[in-house]
Amino acid sequence: MKRSLFAAFSLAATSLVSVPAATLSVRVDQPGAAINPAMWGAFFEDINFGADGGLYAELVKNRGFEFPDALMGWTKLIPPKAKGEISVHSDLPFAPGNPHYVRVNSGGAGLLGLSNEGFRGIGVRAGEAYDFSVRVRAGAGEPKLTVRLYGSDGAVLESVDLTGFTSEWQKYSAKLHSKDTDAKARLVVLVDGKGSLDLDFISLFPERTWKNRSGGLRPDMIQVLADMHPGFLRFPGGCIVEGNLLATRYQWKKTLGPVEEREVLINRWNSEFLHRPTPDYFQSFGLGFFEYFQLCEDIGAQLLPILNCGMACQFNSGELCPLDQLEPYIQDALDLIEFANGPVSSTWGAKRAAMGHAEPFNLKLLGVGNEQWGPEYIERYAKFAEALKAKHPEIALISAAGPSPDDERFKFLWPKLRELHADIIDEHCYAKPAWFLDNAHRYDNYERNGPKVFMGEYAAQSDSTVSVKNRNNFECALSEAAFMTGLERNADVVRMASYAPLFAHVDAWQWTPDLIWTDNLRTLLTPNYHVQSLFARNRGDRVLPVAFSQLSPAEEKRLYATASFDEATGEVILKLVNATAKASVCTVDLSGVRQVQRGTVTVLQSDDLAAVNTFDSPDQVVPKQTDLTPVGPKFDLTLPANSFNVVRMGVVK
């Protein structure tokens, strides 16, 4: 963006004459680069109970008794007079992939069994239905199984009995209805009567899931994600792709098929931060690659899977797969492309069809590694690229640029990746708000030829990276909006961008800030969410050149603009950030326009930079929309102090 020389004069002139209003000229008659329709996306990782305990609607933690401590999440309920025992076994399980189960042996003198705590409680709503299921094998006697929901105050919310068990493993189901709404209920299974029962895969799902898919995803969380209009979804991580050892890396093939056969794996965030330990964090993979693909399709987002490239997390072991043993990793990538796009006659296309999706998923993007760095990455990326490009030149590969946007690792990687003709390079940035304000022009002078940029993970940190004091405050959101104006203005270089991380459970997070906060029943939208959403919902198709002039010194540093044209609606879209403490009156000058017929101005503003949204006060910082009355091509617009403004104008050219 060109800035007027006048700004240099204005510093000297301010004390003598009044400062002229800022002018923003917008060249509607000179549309520039096309903006990628998938420009503004979302990055999902199973961190902060994002999947298990979050998107994946299963309400029972450790349903298959497969955590290393088989009874983690469960409490034995053996009243003193009950005369019985509860033990864990693994001989003759109902599914080889789910070897452990529980045997409840009752002397018949009282009910005994187990209680599950859920994911920091079990969220239930009054009157809503819940699908309970359990695998049971009867031993001696003919006891009943009593299934109850208890509220956090100890009240029974529901109780049903199951009977008729046989000496073979079978699945039994029941519909539960909760009498009350409670975010911290418990599920209890009790053996009633003398005898023994083997129990496994004890599961409870809300009947109401996203698209009412049985065993599906949490609809409120997906709705707010869909409302953001993400152009793509990057998944499943993040460091979780890498694992702290190669043995604990994410392997997409292990996330397909019946859920009870999906092998449980420790979540990399389980013990990553000693200040936020989460010993009960494991991956059930109930949200697996097929479900991710389906989710992308549902919300109209392009799929962007990230695969391990033979490197464990370099913040942990940094374990490397030797170069001459990379073949299975590369084969996983080739098979994934076939799973997504291959004909039903192909091996992996047939597996996709068997899961209920004969049509291809239209995969176009694939990430090789997450946040890797060093020559070790370049060597591995080169091998992946060679094999993938030979067979699938149609797939754009995303390569890593390390964890920082400007350190030595970054400076090493970019030229190397350029030499390798990389398609799109994934830059990451977690920094203070000032970095984002100062770097809104970062891409103005980037090389136009060669690899494109994916700002794959970024978020302003109010305190410092990985600090528990970080808040999703308005200052951070405003600085991100300022930075994003620079991404959009440079849409010929920057093809995609996504905030990180996406979801966090208020009682189970490891990392803050996060775009959307949840508890067991609710979602909370942050100011940062509103910024992302406003950009994605007001993208436009072509960048329009903008130039400020007559800025005051404060405005010169902290006023930001981007403009685009929406071809379908014939609208000019302005996104303007005033990150100064004073309102700016800005004369907007639209060249190539005769008349502005109609329009809206949406403002995200707060006088308090520290303002946050909370579950008690979710609307502290929310967008407010007003109408723009018809005007000529030159008009004054007031940009309130500390504000992000989106102006949509139907224009006559």
> Which of 457, 555, 556, 571 forms a contact with ligand AHR (CB under 6 A)?
457
Contact 120, 170 (CB under 8 A): no
> Which of 45, 319, 338, 427 forms a contact with ligand AHR (CB under 6 A)?
45
By the rule CB under 6 A, 473 interacts with ligand AHR: no
Minimum distance, C-beta of residue 226 to ligand AHR, in the bound complex (Å)? 21
Looking at the Cβ atoms of 316 and 600, the one nearer to ligand AHR is: 316
Minimum distance, C-beta of residue 501 to ligand AHR, in the bound complex (Å)? 4
Read off the DSSP letter of residue 248.
G
Looking at the Cβ atoms of 457 and 480, the one nearer to ligand AHR is: 457
Contact 577, 559 (CB under 8 A): yes
Minimum distance, C-beta of residue 473 to ligand AHR, in the bound complex (Å)? 18
CA-closest candidate to residue 346, choices 331, 356, 358:
358
Minimum distance, C-beta of residue 96 to ligand AHR, in the bound complex (Å)? 32
Through-space distance between the first and last CA atoms of the chain, rounded to whole angstroms: 23
Looking at the Cβ atoms of 45 and 66, the one nearer to ligand AHR is: 45
Rounded to an integer, what distance in angstroms lies between the CA atom of residue 111 and that of residue 77? 8
Read off the DSSP letter of residue 263.
P
Looking at the Cβ atoms of 49 and 560, the one nearer to ligand AHR is: 49
Minimum distance, C-beta of residue 509 to ligand AHR, in the bound complex (Å)? 11
By the rule CB under 6 A, 206 interacts with ligand AHR: no
Q: Compute, in degrees rounded to 10, the torsion defined by CA atoms 590, 591, 594, 596.
A: -20
Minimum distance, C-beta of residue 360 to ligand AHR, in the bound complex (Å)? 28
Contact 398, 365 (CB under 8 A): yes
Catalytic residue of the set 371, 475, 555, 571? 371
Looking at the Cβ atoms of 64 and 237, the one nearer to ligand AHR is: 237
Question: Which CB contacts under 8 angstroms, 24+ apart, belong to 621-627?
Answer: 621/474, 621/477, 621/527, 621/530, 622/525, 622/530, 623/530, 623/534, 625/600, 625/601, 626/600, 626/601, 627/598, 627/599, 627/600, 627/601
Looking at the Cβ atoms of 45 and 319, the one nearer to ligand AHR is: 45
By the rule CB under 6 A, 238 interacts with ligand AHR: yes
Stretch that binds ligand AHR, among 179-187, 231-239, 338-346, 529-537 (CB under 6 A): 231-239
Contact 124, 205 (CB under 8 A): no
By the rule CB under 6 A, 319 interacts with ligand AHR: no
> Two tokens at 441?
């022009």
Looking at the Cβ atoms of 144 and 276, the one nearer to ligand AHR is: 276
By the rule CB under 6 A, 371 interacts with ligand AHR: yes
Exposed / middle / buried, residue 163 (Cβ in 10 Å: 0-12, 13-18, 19+): exposed
Rounded to an integer, what distance in angstroms lies between the CA atom of residue 297 and that of residue 357? 11
By the rule CB under 6 A, 44 interacts with ligand AHR: no
Using CB under 6 A as the binding criterion, the count of chain residues that bind ligand AHR stands at 12
Q: Which amino acid is at 228?
A: M
Active site residue 261: no
Stretch that binds ligand AHR, among 50-58, 236-244, 375-383, 389-397 (CB under 6 A): 236-244
Minimum distance, C-beta of residue 454 to ligand AHR, in the bound complex (Å)? 13
Phi, psi of 586, deg, nearest 5: -120, 125
> Which of 178, 203, 302, 370 forms a contact with ligand AHR (CB under 6 A)?
370
Looking at the Cβ atoms of 176 and 500, the one nearer to ligand AHR is: 500
Residue 210: CA atoms inside 13 Å, Cβ hemisphere, count?
A: 25
Q: Which amino acid is at 54?
A: G
Stretch that binds ligand AHR, among 179-187, 210-218, 237-245, 544-552 (CB under 6 A): 237-245
Restricting to residues 389-428, name those near ligand AHR by CB under 6 A. 403
DSSP sequence for 190-234: EEESSEEEEEEEEEEEES--GGG-TT-B-HHHHHHHHHT--SEEE
By the rule CB under 6 A, 239 interacts with ligand AHR: yes
Residue for token pair 């920094």 = 431
By the rule CB under 6 A, 313 interacts with ligand AHR: no
Minimum distance, C-beta of residue 50 to ligand AHR, in the bound complex (Å)? 10
Restricting to residues 489-548, name those near ligand AHR by CB under 6 A. 500-501, 511
Which residues does the annotation mark as catalytic? 371
- Which positions lie near ligand AHR, rule CB under 6 A? 45, 47, 237-239, 370-371, 403, 457, 500-501, 511
